[in-house]
Amino acid sequence: MAIYTILVTGANGQLGWELGQLAKSYPAFKFVFVDRSQLDLAFPETFEKIMLTIKPDCIVNTAAYTAVDKSETEKELAYTVNATAVQELARISKDLSIPFITYSTDYVFDGEATTPYATSTKVDPVNYYGSTKAAGEKMAIEVNEDTIIIRTSWVFSSHGNNFVKTMLRLMKERESLNIVADQKGRPTYAKDLAIATMKMVEAINAGKTIKGIYHFANQGETNWFSFATTIKAFAGLTCNIQPIETKDFPTPAKRPAYSVLDTSKIEQDLEMDIRDWEEALTACMKAINAH
């Protein structure tokens, strides 16, 4: 049987790294992980040549410009990485007739809903990062209607930079912290998203038609204050955490007040159960302690 090669971009990011940890559990696939030094999304004109060397059977694009606040001032780079490069990867995947999986964000939505956002809800981003990701979604689907987009939210992992690790550090360094309590969302363990991604690759390999937009996040919803309080409790720390309002914590990029994703489509199409975010957080904190 011919070897099926999966090209994964963003090898050093949270999701790319978690896919790297999982790779050995999928001996039927050959994984090629590339970081920024091997495939730089700021230079889409270089992709075609790189693909000739790697010859992928599937592209999983986890790399992205994820600095939400910085993107308000580094607009050109954020747009190239999150929109132009995603379009070019989608175009190349169409040319090669191979599946293309890329990721987007809850920040494509306006934040004004009161019930979870369906995959079909109209996008209306409130910040520049969200608008680059929304543009990337649209441009990729325009050039390759088979593009698979997985929107996710509030990603954490034992690897990389994220809210969980920042909180653990700050709670040890400081006696008290003020955390925003009026933004609601669904935390996502990057490991669970990596497993869902591999389920998708396997389903595609088994001949199942999967395309378009999906949402993936762990079950349940919370706000940043409650998330921080749970991290504190699980870690047995004593830092005093105070809830504050978004208006008292100004940031360069506006955040949506409500960005809970409805994940029912991926659960149905992949016949999968998604665990609660608290259970996923426990697993992640175990992994952090084991490091």
Q: Is 144 in the site for ligand NAP (CB under 6 A)?
A: no
Amino acid at 16: G
Residue 44 interacts with ligand NAP (CB under 6 A): yes or no: no
Rounded distance between C-alpha atoms, residue 282 and residue 158, angstroms = 11
Q: Which of 20, 116, 160, 243 binds ligand NAP (CB under 6 A)?
A: 160
Tell me the helices (H) and strands (E) count for the chain, helix number first. Answer: 10, 12
Instruction: Decide if residue 132 touches ligand NAP (CB under 6 A).
Output: no
Enumerate residues 6+ apart whose C-beta is below 8 A from 260: 106, 113, 115, 116, 117, 153, 184, 185, 186, 217, 221
CA–CA gap between residue 41 and residue 55 (Å, rounded): 18
129 is catalytic: yes
Among 153, 183, 197, 259, binds ligand NAP (CB under 6 A): 153
Is 13 one of the binding residues for ligand NAP (CB under 6 A)? yes
**Least distance CB 235 / ligand NAP (angstroms):** 20
Q: Distance of CA 21 to CAs 90, 110, 169, 237, Å?
A: 25, 34, 24, 29
Dig out the tokens for 189 from the structure.
Answer: 């363990």
Of 266, 271, 283, the closest CA to residue 116 belongs to 266
Of 63, 126, 134, 231, the residue at the interface with ligand NAP (CB under 6 A) is 63
What is the footprint of ligand NAP within residues 21-40 (CB under 6 A)?
Answer: 35-36, 40
| Region near ligand NAP per CB under 6 A, out of 91-99, 148-156, 198-206, 268-276 | 148-156
Minimum distance from residue 273 beta carbon to ligand NAP (Å)? 21
Of 6, 7, 8, 14, which one interacts with ligand NAP (CB under 6 A)? Answer: 14
CA of 186: how far to CAs of 151, 181, 199, 234, in Å? 12, 14, 21, 18
Residues acting as catalytic residues: 129
- The residues that touch ligand NAP, with contacts defined as CB under 6 A, are 10, 12-16, 35-36, 40-42, 62-66, 81, 103, 105-106, 152-155, 160, 190
